Amino acid sequence: MVEYALGRWGRLDILVNNVGIGIAKRVTEVALEEWELQMRVNVTSMVLASKHAIPAMIASAGGGAVLNISSIASQKGRGLAPYAASKGAVEALTRAMAADHGREGIRVNAIAPGPAYTPMVAARGMPDAVREARRKSTALGLEGTAWDIAAAAVYLCSDEARWVTGVVLPVDGGVLVN
């Protein structure tokens, strides 16, 4: 992936680690293999992508931005222990990477999306009543979309956020304050 970007554009400025699976089990129910898969997909993939992208950013662009996608599930107790733990690890990883690579010109931030209605959610199907309950769970009373998450991503990866690093930004319509 890094080699492709460098070959195509000659430099690497941004890495967005947008990956995740959700295993909806309690710790008393989850098999070790499921736990390890959850961590491998949601955390280890971000470590590996960053491991290779950060040196390329430093060498080709003199710095850059890494954006990790977490979830408010890491901050709001609602079950889903394997998923919540993996996204909590993403947030800790974000802060550690920001401290480790800031002096190299690398900014590392995360977005913690709330219950946005995205194409992936729509493809799985969602009853209108569930969709309405999700909307009502927000302090703003609005349904979020993938565009809301994208707008935050554009900001955090832009030069306008040049003095922002180590931040986990909830983009959740105020679910965390309700």
Active site residues: 83
Angle, vertex CA 176, rays to CA 175 and CA 178, nearest 5: 65
Which H or E run contains 129? helix 128-136
> What residues are paired with 110 via a beta bridge?
68, 168
